[in-house]
Amino acid sequence: MAVGAMMLLAAIVLVLHFREPQDPAAQLALKAKRVELVERMRLSVALASEAEKSAVMAITDEDSQSYADQARTATATVDQGGRELAQLLEPGGLKNEKDLLAQFSKAFAEIQRIDKDLLELAVRNTNLKAYSLTFGPASAALKEMDAALAGVVAAGAGSPSGDDLNVMQLADGARIAALRLLTLLPPHIAEESDQRMDEMEAAMAKEDQAVRQDLAGLAVIPTLSGNSELSTAAARYARFSVLKAQILKLSRENTNVRSLTISLNQKRKVMLICEDALSALEQAIQAEPIAGFSNRKPASPR
């Protein structure tokens, strides 16, 4: 029994001896390494967040993709730092430090899940493409239609057949309805709610019907038979209708609006948890007591 007791005592002494580095300088270097890793992770988390926001706000696919790649690279750096820190905390880290790292790791895993969807949305830029079509080709098509209908009115002015008033009313009706339709596109692109989009599209359908009815009314007026300006107006509106369908499809995908909403809401909340956990972890490591040294922030080893 005495021999057994002595062996047990010797084992306890050995465990206590080898549980942590006994050299204060080595302990200080280990503390500095842990703090350096946490600071590197904090910087990489900030860089990943900044790159993600830039990907969301970029105005070209190329820029969005570039920033998305930067965000993924910074995220990988955080992931690697977390694994290294876990290894350094395993032999001698305090329980609260391990708990804080686990809290961070859980929140960061959620960020990675969010970013997977967010960055895939951001690089598609469907809302920006919809705006570009609206204020570019679609607007140009209606401008050309408007000019053509103005020519139709001018050509019919003073017509002996007495159709000039009817021509003017139908042409102006088509021009006004087309303009109203065009003004509904930007709010549709910016809208997040499917219900509101449905309401806007219903309003667009009414304006579209009015344009088509007025153009059809002009087409049956005998004095406008074969009128090139009227043919141009009809062709330009047909072109606008094709573009409108493309715009509404892109708008419905809503990738810019959705990615921005995710970034400002879901992502922001989890980011705060990550930042708080890393800040608390750094403070906990810095507060570790080392014999012969005060609890000040250790200098990073060169």
Closest listed residue to residue 45, CA positions, set 302, 257, 273, 297: 273
Q: How many CB atoms lie within 10 A of CB 147?
A: 14
- Which H or E element spans position 288? none
Mean pLDDT of 90-114: 90
Q: Output the pLDDT for position 154.
A: 87
Do 33-123+256-286 and 126-253 have matching folds? yes
Q: What is the pLDDT of residue 115?
A: 95
Q: Residue 290: what are its φ and ψ, rounded to 5°?
A: -130, 125
Q: Choose the weakest-confidence range: 89-98, 121-130, 185-194.
A: 89-98
Domain boundaries, the chain: 33-123+256-286, 126-253
Q: Which helix (H) or strand (E) holds 135?
A: none
The pTM of this model reads 0.76
Q: What is the pLDDT of residue 3?
A: 45
DSSP state letter for 290:
B
Topology given in CATH for the domain delimited by 126-253: de novo design (two linked rop proteins) (1.20.1440)
Q: What is the percent of the chain with per-residue pLDDT over 90, rounded to a whole number? A: 74
- Domain spanning 33-123+256-286: which CATH class is it, in words? mainly alpha
Per-residue pLDDT tens for 246-300?
Answer: 999 999 999 999 999 999 999 999 999 999 999 999 999 988 876 655 555 545 5
Q: What is the pLDDT of residue 95?
A: 87
Q: Which of 19-23, 45-49, 290-294 has the weakest average pLDDT? A: 19-23
Mean pLDDT, residues 34-57: 95
The model's confidence at residue 26, banded by pLDDT at 50, 70 and 90, is confident
CA angle, 235 then 240 then 244, to 5°: 150
Q: Using CA atoms, how far apart are residues 236 and 228, in angstroms rounded to an integer?
A: 12
